[in-house]
Structure 1
């Protein structure tokens, strides 16, 4: 049988109870400021009604164990994306602190339960551990009931995860729709400009076609002139031959008269 002190001191005992996250809501409603499936350090402190520093120090001392149960530190692009999709905080010193840090520690429900099994001086944590021990004792006495309860809780967890994913997807679809509307407005403004450019291009096409037709006619004229020059050259050669014939005939006639 586990006891309260065993849970506080034994990591293996805590590991065996870490899946019973439903006890958190049985003791007190766990409110996530992100609206999703992860709690910030401040959410955890508020749940257990302890100072923020208490949770931060505990997370540092038991970092490896908590990370194995779903605690993580978001940085860089992951942090920016998480804040954009899930956080809705003001710029005040209390609610705005995630945006002022280079990293944001978040806890899964399993990690929050792990914190409950580590916090000694929180009344809420003590009640969670007490409830855990009662559930464990009941499970030992009625194993079939525990199996049904576990299956039910797994189904609830799946539904919560799907709901959180749907919320994020819905926001992203909204962002895409807004971007599409902006793109449509830009294209509408560019429409007249594109129309004018199309008209100018069409005019240039007509001018190029006319230039090609004129060039073709010029080539035809040049070819005709070349052929005419060739014909004139042939006619001139024929005239030279006739002139030489006449000259030769005239020369022969003169020699006969002298004799």
Structure 2
């Protein structure tokens, strides 16, 4: 079971808990953009009740980790598109309207949870970490109960792998034999085709011989008749 200090120091521990975004709502409501998916730096700072600079510093120090969990920094056309479709302009926030900024950081709920596991000087972040540790503690008995089954499954998979390794040479020999049979079948088909062609040729020759024989027989019968008629 992890401790709060482990969450603060271990990236792998944070990675293992980054999917429990439901704990955010157990602490307080997170304001999101109209798309329902993203929060700005101002929204994240308001959630954790810290300054925007504190959130910015966390994002700067752990940018790669946060990007792996959904952090995006919009600029240019992407920023313009987000501003057009997701933010409403009013006199109260005109100075912070993204069109007047060069970039805008967007946090998903997963990113915000990641920030909660990094932000030290926030009571809200501490409460989020406490909920995370409770979730982990509740899941630990289930995980322990599953470990023997997972071990058996891994053993079975290993046995199957060994079996396939043993079958490999046999399958190879069968494949070689099948290739030989295929070649023999192909040769047999060629021979049958050749025999069929020759048989057809012989049929043509026999029909020609029969025609010639008919002509000879007719000539043999007609010639004696002519001679008797002349006599």
Q: Which residue of 2 aligns with 1:229?
A: none
> Cα distance, 1:85 vs. partner?
0.8
> Cα distance, 1:33 vs. partner?
3.8
> Cα distance, 1:12 vs. partner?
0.4
> Which secondary structure state, in structure 2, belongs to the residue aligned with residue 64 of structure 1?
helix
What pairs up with 1:17-166 in 2 under 5 angstroms?
17-92=17-92, 96-142=96-142
Distance 1:13 1:94, change over 3 A: farther
TM-score normalised to structure 1 length: 0.53
Question: How many pairs does the alignment contain?
Answer: 144
Q: Which residue of 2 aligns with 1:15?
A: 15
Q: Which residue of 1 aligns with 2:6?
A: 6
For structure 2, the 5+ residue unaligned runs are 145-231
> Cα distance, 1:81 vs. partner?
0.7
> Cα distance, 1:122 vs. partner?
0.3
> Cα distance, 1:91 vs. partner?
4.3
TM-score normalised to structure 2 length: 0.59
User: For each residue in 1:126-173, what CA deviation from the matched residue of structure 2 results, as whole angstroms up to 9, or x when unmatched?
Assistant: 0000000000110112459xxxxxxxxxxxxxxxxxxxxxxxxxxxxx
For structure 1, the 5+ residue unaligned runs are 145-259
User: For each residue in 1:181-224, what CA deviation from the matched residue of structure 2 results, as whole angstroms up to 9, or x when unmatched?
Assistant: xxxxxxxxxxxxxxxxxxxxxxxxxxxxxxxxxxxxxxxxxxxx
Larger radius of gyration, structure 1 or 2?
A: 1
Structure 1 segments of 4+ aligned residues over 6 angstroms from their partners: none
Distance 1:132 1:94, change over 3 A: farther
Q: CA RMSD for the aligned pairs? A: 1.8
Q: Which residue of 2 aligns with 1:252?
A: none
